[in-house]
Amino acid sequence: MARKTFTSGVLTDIGSFGGGFRLRGYRDPVLVSSADGVGTKLKLAFLTGRHSTIGEDLVNHCVNDIAVQGATPLFFLDYFAVGKLDARVAADVISGIARGCKANGCALIGGETAEMPGFYAPGEYDLAGFIVGAVERKRLLTGAKIRSGDVLIGLPSSGLHTNGYSLARKLLFEVAGHAPDARLAELESTVADELLKLHRSYLKPLRALDNAGLLKGAAHITGGGITDNTPRILPKGLGVRIDLGTWPVLPIFDVLRKIGQIPLNDWRRTFNLGIGMIFVVSPRKLSEAGRILDTLKEPWYPMGAVIPARRGERVIYE
């Protein structure tokens, strides 16, 4: 499965002590790297016995994290640790990683499979991913060119992605007492199906806008939600106004808020609320950006604007 992801830059085969990759086609390259996991979404895989998508979640999360800085993914490594190896489960997990790498043009160049008896509970494992990408230094997305008046474009998430699962599991399974295969009136699928929805990759639309010279900044909406992730790309002294009602909040988030009676600010800081990626573009370029996204059949929502920070608050909901 790993070999099927190899690109022309891969110089070593599976089994080498280290993975070799030849960087070509760049004049002044900057390497951009990231490491991440999928959090307690793993508990859903253990609970349901469904392991084939968790690896794809991992890859897409890592790809998004470096793509928002303008980087093209080059190669990926995984860390899979378990008490006693189950070959079927391991194959399912790795199949998802390989599928995610292939879809994002990223080579699965190596990794570590660690069997550690007594360290993990039976049937459980840990999973982490490491990604390296590259971008020309002059094309690095830093957010430095963002100005007051620029507009925000939101792209939809598919669900929780890979954040907020500890709270979601507690509310749905412990507080509300739902079974994984329960069907709620508000949802179009079972609870397990909803929670296991894939973390999307936004590489294609992001690259399309960046290649067109339209993108000033991009924020991957992960843990911390819109509230904590959007300010990470803003120059000092700037904030954003988020226009409520400009995108559909997915039903799962309303279900969770109702069950837990979650305070509004905590709800916004815990979940993505249906937005997985935010782009910043000039207001003069909004129509052009929209046409490109429409061509890609990518739904998008004008959801606010960059403003001067107010009294130290960098995200205002109106």
pLDDT above 90: residue 311: no
Beta bridge pairs of residue 73:
133
Q: If you average pLDDT over residues 122-132, what whole number do you get?
A: 97
pTM for the complete prediction? 0.96
SS3 string, 234-295, reads CCCCEEEEECCCCCCCCHHHHHHHHHHCCCHHHHHHHCCCCEEEEEEECHHHHHHHHHHHHH
Q: Per-domain residue ranges for the chain?
A: 3-139, 151-317
**Which amino acid, one-letter code, is at 256?**
L
What integer pLDDT is reported at residue 47 of this predicted model?
96
Q: How far is CA 188 from the centre of its chain?
A: 23
Q: How far is CA 162 from the centre of its chain?
A: 7
Mean pLDDT, the chain, rounded, equals 97
What integer pLDDT is reported at residue 19 of this predicted model?
94
Q: If you average pLDDT over residues 226-236, what whole number do you get?
A: 97
Class at the top of the CATH hierarchy for domain 3-139: alpha beta
The span from the CA of 194 to the CA of 190, in Å, is 6
What integer pLDDT is reported at residue 15 of this predicted model?
86
Q: What is the pLDDT of residues 144-197, one digit of tens each?
A: 999 999 999 999 999 999 999 999 999 999 999 999 999 999 999 999 999 999
Beta strand spans in the chain (E): 29-37, 72-82, 107-115, 125-136, 151-156, 217-220, 238-242, 275-281, 301-308, 315-317
What integer pLDDT is reported at residue 310 of this predicted model?
84
Q: If you average pLDDT over residues 44-57, what whole number do you get?
A: 97
Q: What is the pLDDT of residues 54-88, one digit of tens each?
A: 999 999 999 999 999 999 999 999 999 999 999 99
**Which amino acid, one-letter code, is at 15?**
G
Residue whose C-alpha is closest to residue 41's, from 101, 151, 128, 105: 128
Residue whose C-alpha is closest to residue 301's, from 272, 275, 267: 275
What integer pLDDT is reported at residue 222 of this predicted model?
97
Beta bridge pairs of residue 152:
280, 304
Residue whose C-alpha is closest to residue 278's, from 139, 140, 157: 157
For 151-317, CATH number?
A: 3.90.650.10
pLDDT above 90: residue 14: no
Residue partners of 86: CB distance under 8 A and separation at least 6:
123
What integer pLDDT is reported at residue 52 of this predicted model?
95
Q: If you average pLDDT over residues 5-14, what whole number do you get?
A: 94
What integer pLDDT is reported at residue 244 of this predicted model?
97
Q: What is the pLDDT of residues 233-248, one digit of tens each?
A: 999 999 999 999 999 9
pLDDT above 90: residue 312: no
pLDDT above 90: residue 92: yes
- Give the least confident one: 8-22, 97-111, 130-144: 8-22
- Report the SS3 class of residue 125: strand
